[in-house]
Amino acid sequence: MHRKMMFISILCLAPLSHVLGVEQSYSHVMFDDFNYANFTQAKENGWMVRTEKGHPGVKGATWWKEGVTFHPHPLDHTNFIMRLTSKTDGTSVNTRQTQVCHKRKYREGTYAARVYFNDIPQYGPDGDGIVETFYAISPLVAPMDKNYSEMDFEYLANGGWGEGNHALFATSWETFQLTPWTKVNQHDASIRSLQGWNTLVLHVADNTLRYFINGRLFATHGPEVFPEVPMSINFNLWFIQEQLVQNPVMRQYYQDVDWVYFAKDTLLSTHQVTQQISSFRNNRIEQYDSVPEWSPKQKDYCSL
């Protein structure tokens, strides 16, 4: 069910600080509960779906708009989730990857999302290098561009990049180039299964990036990789080409997203973020965005 008109009337009656019942008004906030019937409704609130081929993942694979869908939450049918579904039979022509993006206007503050990670496919043989993500990114204007900015949560259920199964990577990028492959970044990995729902929080302030998983700090990165330019907020689900299982049977994976949240120039703990989400929901606010456009306004995009 899509109840946009319900929360618009609430916001018109009172300021956000009063509606949420908080002492401080976080005036530059983006929140989305993904209570949509289809992607056309999500697009009205600034979401884009990727269709352009290219990095990352399987070379020549299709970025699949039909792979982004909305469903009742399995434990609460009054609440909806966004689902990213990707599939492969080991060939590029039959590989489908998914990515969704929100406007390019985010840099410093608190990023947060509640994401459902899967360790095994919905069907078909297991073992592919699958990457389940929540991240922020800017365009790469040129190879080794020093103003490039990217901050990633990436869950590799079957391992990869030098780590074994169930690796959650936190990676902060200064820059890179594809050919020859050259990277400048800082990264850490947490090695354990994260099957199920997880709350991911990222603090970006004072030339420091701090990554939290379910309230626990597991990575801190310094000024060398601090973002210089505005980024879009993204989720995607893709395959590591070198780790595709050599099996012609189709297999399908999915990642769910319960909600996403951003507070500009404000640092909130995981507990404070979840309190904000509860307040939005208690007041039937399903989508809210008071984060101003970057000045000058940046072109929205959904690609690398």
| Fold observed for domain 4-289 | Jelly Rolls (2.60.120)
- Asked if the model's pLDDT at residue 90 lies above 80, the reply is yes
Q: State the Cα–Cα distance between residues 75 and 77, nearest whole angstrom.
A: 7
Contact 288, 30 (CB under 8 A): yes
Taking the alpha carbons of 96, 90, 185, 177 in that order, is the dihedral positive or negative?
A: negative
* Residue 158, both tokens: 């079957």
The secondary structure element, H or E, covering residue 11 is: helix 4-13
Reduce the DSSP state of residue 133 to 3 states and report it.
Answer: strand
- Asked if the model's pLDDT at residue 107 lies above 60, the reply is yes
Which of 22-26, 30-34, 36-40 has the least mean pLDDT?
22-26
Q: State the Cα–Cα distance between residues 229 and 248, nearest whole angstrom.
A: 42
- Residue 74 has a pLDDT of 81
- Asked if the model's pLDDT at residue 17 lies above 80, the reply is no
Residue 16's pLDDT band, with cuts at 50, 70 and 90, is low
Question: pTM for the complete prediction?
Answer: 0.92
Average pLDDT, the chain: 91
Q: State the Cα–Cα distance between residues 33 and 36, nearest whole angstrom.
A: 9
Cis peptide bond prior to 180, omega within 30° of 0: yes
Residue 161's CB is within 10 A of a number of other CB atoms, namely 15
As a whole-number percent, the residues of the chain with pLDDT over 70 amount to 91
- Asked if the model's pLDDT at residue 215 lies above 60, the reply is yes
Going by C-beta distance under 8 Å and a sequence separation of 6 or more, which residues neighbour residue 27? 16, 290
Question: Residues 153-162: what's their mean pLDDT?
Answer: 96
Closest CA relative to residue 175, chosen from 220, 224, 135: 224
Which of 15-19, 47-51, 144-148, 276-280 has the least mean pLDDT?
15-19
Going by C-beta distance under 8 Å and a sequence separation of 6 or more, which residues neighbour residue 172? 150, 151, 152, 185, 186, 187, 209, 221, 225, 226
Going by C-beta distance under 8 Å and a sequence separation of 6 or more, which residues neighbour residue 297? none
Looking at residue 74, what DSSP letter applies?
Answer: T
- Asked if the model's pLDDT at residue 112 lies above 90, the reply is yes
Closest CA relative to residue 238, chosen from 132, 82, 100, 118: 132
Domain ranges of the chain: 4-289
Q: State the Cα–Cα distance between residues 12 and 19, nearest whole angstrom.
A: 10
